[in-house]
Amino acid sequence: MNRIVVVAFALLTAFEAAPVAAQDSVPPKVTPAPKKQDPFVARSQDVALEPASTGFGFYVENDVLGFQTDQNYTGGFAFSLGGRWISESGLSGPLSLFDLLFEPVTHMRRAHQSREVSLHTLTIEGSAFTPRREDLGISTPIVDDRPYASLFGFQVRRVSVRRKADPLKLSRRAVSSELTIAALGWDLAKALQTDLHRTLRRRSGKSTPVDPQGWSNQISNGGEPTLLYTVGEEQLLYGRSPVDPGVQGQATWSAQASAGYYTNIAAGVSGRFGRIRTNFWEFNTNPLNSIQQRIEASDDRHPWELYGFAGGRGRLVGYNALLQGQFRESVHTFSPSQVNHALLEGEFGVAGAGTMLGGTFTGRIMAAGRTPEFNGPRQRSHAWGAIHLAYAPRLSSRSQ
């Protein structure tokens, strides 16, 4: 496992291998010291660019939304909060510790400290995985299909960008790190899926979808702690600053490496076209990576945006606990030879935002898909739909 972790993160070392340019000395700005401060992140004079709070967001995805497949990755949710309070309260401390521990490989601590603007997100999330819909009524292990699996926990994410000479513009490059602390094998997934299926039956008057009977066979049934550490980089390949928004196109390149319950590396491209007013790093075709990563809450000059987007990536998987199990014994798991270690993923959709009721509302609908995660007679690609809603209050200033 240690070898897999080192290999995964070594592939990202080149992203930050270049020496950090020395910054011109600037007389320090006298600001009151916060009560608590993340000890591993440098406080620059531009720390005020991150508001104390940037609002909240809710995200739900399910294969019932448009596809009616009810298998593989069958559904997930996330509730996210953003703002400077995450760092000042010490909640980003564990993430900073991992940045420090992996610094010799990833250079992520140096990357964050060399960039004047850092934004933080705290997310509560959950996801569930099941065999195919036709077999949900079977209580015994289905050995030639993927095992039941669930994950519930919270994630802290930090994204950092460098300011340019123009105070209204930011760099075309962003780095990020995130730490997920979660549990495998809780009964919560069974309860949520059962309630959803019963609601669907009541509304349709049909006998399907049936109540899932195989959750006692899930990975790490009864509960087991787990974690995931991820570092990433994004770069704007094409597009202009959204300071003066209008109809335009943007293209972005991104790369990621993760170690933990889903050890993998990934790289891909994404694009969007329409009336855009947000920075490229404030948006990601995977909404779980972009909720509440903002500096400004709203802009009276440009009160709305609307655009279409699409993205795709390749992913190399070294280890997947949701298929292979972890330390606790599980009734049914896959061996490494049964796991597909090369995947393709993609998504497309529409997003928009508008200023109203003292803040900004953001909405997004999308469809996503992934090539088969395991091989064998029941291997299959999968698709699902997603909805994302968020609200950010108006800010009286950048630093309050």
- Cα gap 96→36, rounded to integer Å: 14
What would the pLDDT profile of 288-303 be if each residue is shown by its tens digit?
544 444 444 444 555 7
**Domain annotation covers residue 118:** yes
Tokens of 147: 């095992």
* Per-residue pLDDT, 219: 98
d(CA 314, CA 343): 6
pLDDT at residue number 44: 38
Q: How far apart are CA 302 and CA 355, in angstroms?
A: 9
Amino acid at 258: S
d(CA 379, CA 376): 5
Domain annotation covers residue 399? no
- Contact yes or no for 108/177 (Cβ under 8 A): yes
Most confident of 6-20, 35-49, 111-125, 305-319: 305-319
- 135 is a domain residue: yes
Terminal Cα distance for the chain, rounded: 45
What's the CA gap between 178 and 8, in Å, rounded? 15
Per-residue pLDDT tens over the stretch 322-347: 999 999 999 999 999 999 999 999 99
> Which pLDDT band, with edges at 50, 70 and 90, does 400 fall under?
very low
Instruction: Please give the pLDDT value at position 315.
Output: 97
Q: Mean pLDDT lowest for which of 151-155, 167-171, 233-237, 356-360? A: 167-171
Give the pTM: 0.85
Write the CA distances from 103 to 31, 94, 147, 248, integer angstroms. Answer: 29, 14, 35, 38
CA distance 372 to 365: 23
User: For residues 182 and 41, which has the higher predicted lDDT (pLDDT)?
Assistant: 182
Distance CA 348, CA 190 (A): 29
In this structure, is the dihedral angle defined by the CA atoms of residues 245, 299, 302 and 281, taken in order, positive or negative? Answer: positive
Which distant-in-sequence residues (6+ apart) come within 8 Å of 104 by Cβ?
Answer: none
pLDDT above 90 (res 240): no
With residues binned 3-state (H G I as helix, E B as strand, rest as coil), the percentages for the chain, rounded to 5, are 20, 40, 40
Closest to 372 in 3D by CA, of 326, 330, 323: 323
DSSP 8-state secondary structure symbol assigned to residue 15: G
| Strand, helix or coil for residue 232 | strand
Residue 89 lies in a domain: yes
Q: What is the CATH number of the domain that holds 270?
A: 2.40.128.140
Report the pLDDT averaged over residues 150-170.
81
| Structural domains in the chain (count) | 1
Encoding tokens for residue 83? 């703002």
Give whichever of 28-37, 234-243, 247-256 has the largest mean pLDDT: 247-256
C-beta of residue 101 within 8 angstroms of C-beta of residue 108: no
d(C-alpha 274, C-alpha 248), whole Å: 6
- Give the domain range for residue 212: 2-16+37-393
**What percentage of the chain has pLDDT greater than the value 70?**
78
Q: Which two structure tokens, joined as six digits, stand for 148?
A: 């039941």
Q: In angstroms, rounded to a whole number, what is the distance separating the alpha carbons of residues 51 and 47? A: 9
Asked if residue 31 is part of any domain, the answer here is no
* 270 falls within a domain: yes
- The reply to whether 22 falls in a domain is no
Query: Per-residue DSSP letters for 119-188?
Result: EEEEEEEEEEEES-GGGTT--S--TTSPPPEEEEEEEEEEEEEEE-SSTT-EEEEEEEEEEEEEEES-TH
Q: What average pLDDT is seen over the chain?
A: 83
| Residue 314 belongs to some domain of the structure | yes
For residue 338, CA distances in Å to 94, 96, 143, 318 come to 34, 35, 11, 12
Place of tokens 């790093």: 281
